[in-house]
Amino acid sequence: MVRLPKDRGESVAETASEVPEPGDMKPVEVAGQPLILVRGNDREVRVFHNVCPHRGARALIEAGSGPALTCPYHAWSYELDGSLKGCPHYIGVSPTGEHGHLLSTLRD
């Protein structure tokens, strides 16, 4: 978890207007941290680290909209709340693991 200074948190809030509709998502960088803004189906804006839990690649390269976020590298997909939706071609122990396997959220 990364904590941002209060003034940086306000920057994220201002940028949240750039994801006005459910399913809108946008990569941003705040205080040197690569983040993703996502407007959920509940209309809440969530902020995730832009790091795919699979192999650490950027999970979102450019802004878009859709029912899920799909990492461009190996196509793991995440629900708009950051929970794992699918992991095609994954062989082995369930990647959900003991604590779940989610895009990690940002807390202030």
Binding site for ligand FES (CB under 6 A): 52, 54-55, 57, 71, 73-74, 76
User: Between 5 and 72, whose beta carbon lies closer to ligand FES?
Assistant: 72
Q: Which run of H or E residues covers position 65?
A: strand 64-65
User: Between 8 and 74, whose beta carbon lies closer to ligand FES?
Assistant: 74
Angstrom distances, CA of residue 14 to CA of 23, 57, 79, 102: 18, 26, 23, 25
Provide, rounded to whole angstroms, the least separation between the CB of residue 69 and ligand FES.
10
Q: How far apart are the first and last CA of the chain?
A: 9
Provide, rounded to whole angstroms, the least separation between the CB of residue 74 and ligand FES.
3
